[in-house]
Amino acid sequence: MMRTVLTVAATLLIAAIDSAYAASIQGTKERITFEGLVNRHGGEIIPNGYDGMNWFTVWVYGKKATGPAVGFQSVIRGAAAAVINSYAKKAHGGFTHSQTGPFSLKSGHFAAYGGVSEQVTFSAYRNGKIVGTLTQTLDPVRTQIVFDSTFSRIDTVFIDGTGDGITVAMDGLVVRF
């Protein structure tokens, strides 16, 4: 009986480990969905450390917070999704691993934020040097992008759009730590 109770307690404890901690375990595959950061009408900058990453000019918005943004509505699958929101002439944002050690960006769902197409460049960095790029024209519809091996064992990803302000919506990122 005691062994069963301990086994159940240990199982529950392991299941309760926050994804940010799991992100620091080598070989862990994680889907980043941005759920639980804001309510469905809210919006805010993603806090550093969320899902093992530090985020820059990446915001999370609830499903009802953005109004008629066609691309955002097409990419979101749960209650929230992320957008590059730079308030600059050229949209620029990204993320870096918040722990020491590399990660690999495997895939994600992306869309041009508004009602028009957007040319987007994804850049992968390792130790401050660019090691991979992917440029794609995104339409305001959900598009799954699968990244090649140049996005493996990296420490930073930049996402650059050609439009002003909010330009790229994303959800369901798959990374491996």
Burial state string for 82-103 with b = 16 or more CB within 10 A and e = fewer than 16: bbbbbeeeebbbbbbbbeeeeb
- Using CA atoms, how far apart are residues 85 and 14, in angstroms rounded to an integer? 35
**What residue ranges do the domains of the chain occupy?**
2-176
Predicted pLDDT at 143: 96
Sheet holding 53-56, edge to edge: 53-56, 92-97, 156-161, 118-126, 129-138
Task: Convert the pLDDT of each residue in 85-125 to its tens digit.
Answer: 766 666 788 999 887 679 999 999 999 988 889 899 999 99
- Using CA atoms, how far apart are residues 42 and 125, in angstroms rounded to an integer? 32
Neighbours of 133 (CB within 10 A): 13
- Using CA atoms, how far apart are residues 139 and 112, in angstroms rounded to an integer? 5
- Using CA atoms, how far apart are residues 14 and 96, in angstroms rounded to an integer? 26
Q: What is the pTM of this model?
A: 0.81
Predicted pLDDT at 162: 79
Token pair of 84, please? 């590059």
Predicted pLDDT at 87: 67
Task: Kindly list the averaged pLDDT for each block of 10 residues, start to end, along the chain of length 177.
Answer: 43 38 54 91 91 91 82 91 77 83 94 89 95 96 97 95 80 94
What is the dotted CATH code of the domain comprising 2-176?
A: 2.60.120.1350
Predicted pLDDT at 25: 52
